Chains A and B, each alone.
Chain A
Amino acid sequence: MAETSVHKGQSKKGIRKFMFPLFILAVLLSAITLTGCVTVPAQQQRLVSKSNMQFSGSAVFSYQDRLVTQFESGSASFTGGQSGDCGSCVAGGGQ
């Protein structure tokens, strides 16, 4: 009986492990599905075609401060970088 409980607990933990990636995958798929059904005619794209309405990678139009990654290790991963700059800073590391 106790063994069964342990297995159930492990199973729940296993499910929980995949909850976050499954959630973001669901969000992404929903977004693609929903937006794929909408087509805004070209003659109505004046506002969304403005330079500051676009997601340009150019620094002139980007509004993200790249130096915040100096202290925000999470932001490094938002912008595609990693937090591998400091070997002692990873989980379990230490002096």
Chain B
Amino acid sequence: MNRYFCPLLILIVVLFLWTGELYAQEKAVSFSLPKLGTEQPVGLDDFKGSIVVLDFFSAGCPKCYRASWEIESGIQEYYESRSGNPHSIPVRVAAVSSEEALPDDMQVFLEDTELSLVLNDEKGTLLKQYGAAALPYIVVIDAAGKNASEPVVVSAFEEYDGIDKLREVIDKITGRAESYTETAVTDLKKHIINEALFDTSAIIASDVYISDTVLEYKQKKEATEYSVALSYRRIDMDYSSQYLDVIRNESLKENWFSVNGSVKFNLNPAVSLSLDGGFYDGYQTYRAVWLDNYYRHVYGVLKTFIDGIEGYEKAEPWGYSISGGLKWEYLPGAGFAEAGVSYQRDVVSPGYEMGVTVVKLEDAFNTVGFHISTENILTRRMRSLIELGVSDTTERDPRYTLQASLNYAPADHWVTRFNVAGAKERPNFRAKSVSLTLERDWREKWFVSIFGRYYEDTSEIENSVSSSAAAPPLKTYQAGLGLRMQGIKTSFKFTAGPCNTKYDRLPDRDTAFDQLYKDRDWFSVQIVFLHKF
């Protein structure tokens, strides 16, 4: 086994590095296609003396929007204003519609991208001849014909990754095929894509209000992507508990902050490496806030009966996490596999055993996790994602999770999203959920959706002891409506709906936690705004 390991590893690495430039410098496939909406044919011969950029697109492909829009302005108009590339060779862009599209979709696509020349190849014949596996697909052809050379494919991009790479290739073209690599690259300003995201969510019940806001900035430059996110969570709740005859009613307010950063490197066109890290400070959930307040209350009562009793400490929860993962696109645009590891440390508000003495339970947990996932296009209407994870937390058995998602397009303007998930941890914990979303395109860039979700678990109680603070078995029912706007540069989402949590009543349960684990009717709302610049 060992003797095969090294050669296999080398073979895999070489394959990864090789896949990016499959079609470089091959003879260009000749074509003659009608202009979209006309019978007027346009062929490769019509571009003689030029550099040709073929932009294969589909009006229903979201990635194609950005590619076609940027190529039209960043290549066609850019080089037109400069009378060609640095070697004075004219540059022409020909967008090729490679799949039959609905008239409405095509009209929106053309209006948004402002393409000047669109060829019709609705059966995708030319796309196949150029060996593409996914859209968008971009081919740069040198048809300048110096030294009487025939048009050749200089470069083919299986995934659009910004205008800069295209310009780099175009600027090197001298019209003499043998000299591409010897030409100095024009010193262009590096193309950078920036993204700003604002995401705020809230869930509201009669006695609990939780809001969570995330600000994220992301920058993509060449083969590297960076992001940093700041989060703020606010927990407001009415607290009520009774210990012996002492009743305590309070209004609790807690703040939670976190900062997360990530970096992603494209090692080659098919493989990327991501590294993430984050830190937080504060109570993560309203349950932790409630319980810590309860123990403080009980301790306060005990102190009045038992002189000198000690053991309770004010909680200051915080934590951090680091993770890393590798993603392999084994079928360009159609098949992905991902594997990752993570480590998380949580310093929590601990539980206590309170009686004649106060005994503090575990207050710090380490969690190591591993996950693998695979995403695939199953049919022309169906895409799947399967994720498997295992995590091991201090003093607990490993927790296994499985999540399967299936997106299905029953018709052109309809999408259904189905998700099932399960988790298991010995000795007794099991959780499962199922959700379904139905979304329809509405008014060009607008989408409306309706969704429903069901969740249940078996509680975290090992022996269902009456004095345990752990949650009883839970069932959750959730439904909602959503509205989404998706533009080339700006996107927006709004969702809202009710959610009901229902806990099982355990017959011998301590009533101390009744307020915490009471059934609640929540209302959930989320607003997201994304802008690219």
Contacts and interface: CB of A to CB of B under 8 A. Distances in A.
B311 to A, nearest CB: 13
Of B291, B385, B470, B482, chain A has the most CB atoms within 10 Å of the CB of B470
A34 to B, nearest CB: 8
A72 B455 contact: yes
Contacts of B346: 82, 84-85
Contacts of A12: none
A42 B333 contact: yes
A20 B434 CA distance: 19
Nearest to B337: A32
A89 B292 CA distance: 12
A79 B97 CA distance: 38
Given A45-B135, A45-B333, A90-B396, A31 B470 contact: no
A71 to B, nearest CB: 5
A21 B380 CA distance: 31
Interface stretch (B178-186, B245-253, B420-428): B420-428
Contacts of B242: none
B524 A67 contact: yes
Given A51-B486, A74-B432, A78-B421, A89 B383 contact: no
A82 B367 contact: yes
A59 B457 CA distance: 26
Interface of B: 56, 58-64, 98-99, 101, 123-124, 127-128, 132-135, 137, 197, 199, 201-203, 210, 212, 214, 283-288, 291, 294-295, 298, 317, 319, 330-331, 333-335, 337, 342, 344, 346, 348-354, 361-363, 365, 367, 369, 371-372, 374-386, 388-391, 393, 395-396, 399-405, 407, 409, 412, 415, 417, 421, 423-433, 435, 437, 439, 447, 449, 451, 455, 457, 460-462, 465, 467-471, 474, 476, 478, 482, 484, 486, 491-493, 495, 499, 501, 510, 512, 524, 526, 528, 530
Contacts of A54: 62, 383, 407
A91 B462 contact: yes
B470 A90 contact: yes
B99 A60 contact: no
11 contacts: A20-B400, A40-B379, A43-B124, A45-B377, A55-B383, A67-B210, A70-B285, A86-B285, A86-B291, A91-B396, A91-B425
Interface in A24-43: 24-25, 27-28, 31-32, 35-36, 38-43
Most B C-beta atoms less than 10 A away, residue of A61, A69, A90:
A90
Given A45-B380, A58-B197, A78-B421, A68 B455 contact: yes
Contacts of A63: 417, 435, 437, 449, 451, 482, 495
Interface of A: 17, 20-21, 24-25, 27-28, 31-32, 35-36, 38-55, 58-61, 63, 65-75, 77-78, 80, 82-95
Contact of A44 (B59, B99, B388, B396): B99
Nearest to B336: A55
Contacts of A75: 421, 431, 433, 455
Contacts of A45: 58, 61, 134-135, 333-334, 377, 380
B136 to A, nearest CB: 9
Contact of B409 (A27, A39, A43, A50): A50
B486 A49 contact: no
Contacts of B396: 90-91
Contacts of B482: 63
B531 to A, nearest CB: 11
B99 A43 contact: yes
A88 B312 CA distance: 14
A74 to B, nearest CB: 2
B287 A71 contact: yes
Given A70-B285, A82-B393, A93-B351, A49 B58 contact: yes
A94 B99 contact: no
Contacts of A92: 395, 462
B98 A68 contact: no
A74 B401 CA distance: 9
Given A31-B376, A42-B135, 19 more contacts: A28-B388, A40-B379, A41-B133, A45-B135, A46-B59, A46-B101, A47-B380, A52-B415, A59-B199, A63-B449, A65-B526, A67-B201, A67-B210, A68-B499, A72-B476, A90-B396, A92-B462, A94-B351, A95-B469
B98 A42 contact: yes
Nearest to B375: A55
Contact of A43 (B127, B285, B361, B455): B127
A55 B377 CA distance: 11
B259 to A, nearest CB: 16
A94 B468 contact: yes
Contacts of A40: 334, 377-380
Nearest to A24: B402
